[in-house]
Structure 1
Amino acid sequence: MDLSVAHERNLKIKMLKIYVTQNDVFFKKGFSEQQIHTQLYFRQMDMRDYRNLFFEKKDDLYYLKRDWLNILNKWKYKHVSVDETYKNTSEKFLKKFEAFMDDNQLKVYDKTVFSHFFENIKTEINILHWGSLPVYKDSVLCEYETIPEENLELYYNDFSALNDLYNWIRNMEYWKPSFYGDCNLNIDMKFSVYSRRWGHRDTYYIQRTIDGWLVTFMGERKKAEKDGCGALINNMKHDYIFFPEDDFKDAMSTLWNMADEREMSSGELADKLQNIADWISAIEEAVGKNRPTWL
């Protein structure tokens, strides 16, 4: 499944979670760009890539497209219809699932063992899902071949998927709408890395963007991918800085995702970015000290 499909699904669920707290005319009114951002929690990337998917502009306001409004109304009805039974059903499900885990331990991934358990609880899936309106990570949804709402029984007939639902229900009171990593976007951070070629540390200025990184060095500002490919890696290679490229790319993409998925402050992001620079510097210095003098 493409990541954009998973993200589109999550945006719909998040809008639905807001909608169920509002009256039926909420999505019939027009929204300004600022209201889409602040009231519906569309992040900077969402405003750029998904606003026009869901909304059409009339005069100076944006209106939810009729097809999407019909879907949200249908889903809102499903949520409201299970509201009275959800609390009792979810409490029983948590106990059943925990007992299943205790009894089977390492056998939870055994399809026969899990199928027997699932048969006993599958009639509850509709209530559990529509009652809790789970928001899963885009990357998690991409691991499956279907969106939950397209076929609940098919989606949750898998231990990992049902375990995700269990964790969501158990922790859902801690979920709140958020702009997540928008708080650390487009802020200059230092990336000070040692260069044997010049015998000192060079300082790059790096910003996290909605697509990757923006790198400024020697007066030039260029783009890099989430894993550092492009400007960052090219600059270090140009100065013959030695680094394990695959490990470095993994570290940069991991950090980008960490910063995107939670409200990481720009200070924490800057510290972690410098942690990577210090790691590369230590490798670069060690290589220099141990390099044969005849090379």
Structure 2
Amino acid sequence: MGITYDEARIRNLKFKIVNALVNDSRVSLDESFNNEKLVKIFYFKQRDIEQFKTNLFNEDGQILDEVKRSIEEIVQMNMRVREEVDYGEECEKLKVGYLALKNHYDSFESNQEFIEQQLDNLSTVASNLHYYILPIYDERFICNSDILPEDDLSDYYYHFHSIEDLYRCIFETDKSLSWKSTGGDLNLGYKLNFKVYTSRWGHYDNYTFSREHYGWKIGAFGKDAKCDKNGEVLKEVGKQYVTEHTGLHYFLNHDSVQYPRNGVEYALEMLWNDADSKEMEVEELQSKLSDVAAWISEVEKATHQYQPSWCNYY
């Protein structure tokens, strides 16, 4: 069945708590944590609090017993490897092995025996380093691995890209995720412009977007619509929806805009995820959102411009 985003995110939230415990002796698993503390101490995102708090904490803000036991086991593993593992030596092994594998792939060679030999060695090294540095990984990468790292470290790290993630955590920190990052909270709630050309009116109309913890809030025609990451209607539990009257598609269709709907939905979801997973500045988010609007506008123009003169369908 693989690993869902939610499972991967909950895993990362546990590791945020573990990192806080390891790095600050004042933090105790026995205390109660309100939302402010979840952000200040564990660097939870607003989305984490909205969606995953109940997976980790009870109504009083205390860590659930099962979660507490799991976190304590990880902390104990961290203490053990720090006593038993020579960090510098293992890092050097990782560096040598990773670069050997990378050079092998970059040269387009396919010596399966060599690859397996390197992965055999590296998966052991990675297992030693894993509990030493307590890494946070992109949820999408964990999902692609089809296994949570702690379920079977040897299996998880028996892949080049998993080894590469660990390598970056140690040697290329600018390309890795910090446990202290609140990622996309940096760009939540800002009103952004989304200017789309409409042949129907012969000018650009400006829709508004803001990235929210649930997806996008899109504004047009004097009203706002809660939308999913891909710009379509947000389906909330217990509510009824008339999908053709909500979301970006409804707004564009209202103005008879012709555009690549599937591609735009994919782009909006990809952009939302990208803005959520790293500390993307609002200016960069606006720029990339404008790229999508420009794409729609150019397709709209071309659709009308290049249709046969005798057709006049659009």
The Cα shift of 1:86 comes to 1.9
Paired with 2:27 and 2:196, the residues of 1 have a C-alpha distance of 55
8 Å CA contact retained: 1:193, 1:277: yes
Letter in 1 for 2:171: R
Note closer, same or farther for the CA distance 1:285–1:161 as it changes in structure 2 (3 Å cut): same
Normalized per residue, which structure has more helix? Answer: 1
Q: CA RMSD of the aligned region, Å?
A: 2.2
Q: Partner residue of 1:150? A: 151
Deviates more, 1:285-294 or 1:234-243: 285-294
The Cα shift of 1:223 comes to 2.4
Letter in 1 for 2:90: T
Counterpart pick for 1:183 among 165, 181, 186: 186
SS of residue in 2 equivalent to 1:204: strand
Q: Partner residue of 1:229? A: 232
The alignment's TM-score, normalised by the length of structure 2, stands at 0.85
Question: Which consecutive residues of structure 2, in runs of 5 or more, have no partner in the other structure?
Answer: 234-246
Q: Any residues of structure 2 matched to 1:101-250 within 5 Å, and which?
A: 101-102=102-103, 105-106=106-107, 111-172=112-173, 175-176=177-178, 177-230=180-233, 231-250=247-266
8 Å CA contact retained: 2:98, 2:163: no
8 Å CA contact retained: 1:36, 1:42: yes
Q: Percent of pairs identical after alignment? A: 28
Deviates more, 1:233-242 or 1:104-113: 104-113
Paired with 1:234 and 1:160, the residues of 2 have a C-alpha distance of 40
Question: Which consecutive residues of structure 1, in runs of 5 or more, have no partner in the other structure?
Answer: none
Note closer, same or farther for the CA distance 1:75–1:24 as it changes in structure 2 (3 Å cut): farther
The alignment's TM-score, normalised by the length of structure 1, stands at 0.90
Q: Any residues of structure 2 matched to 1:4-43 within 5 Å, and which?
A: 4-23=6-25, 26-43=28-45
The Cα shift of 1:111 comes to 4.5
Paired with 1:208 and 1:109, the residues of 2 have a C-alpha distance of 44
Deviates more, 1:115-124 or 1:150-159: 115-124
Paired with 1:175 and 1:278, the residues of 2 have a C-alpha distance of 31
Q: Partner residue of 2:307? A: 291
Aligned residues: 292
Letter in 1 for 2:10: E
Q: Any residues of structure 2 matched to 1:50-89 within 5 Å, and which?
A: 50-58=52-60, 62-84=61-83, 85-89=86-90
Paired with 1:288 and 1:104, the residues of 2 have a C-alpha distance of 47
Paired with 1:210 and 1:121, the residues of 2 have a C-alpha distance of 37
SS of residue in 1 equivalent to 2:41: helix
Paired with 1:120 and 1:200, the residues of 2 have a C-alpha distance of 62
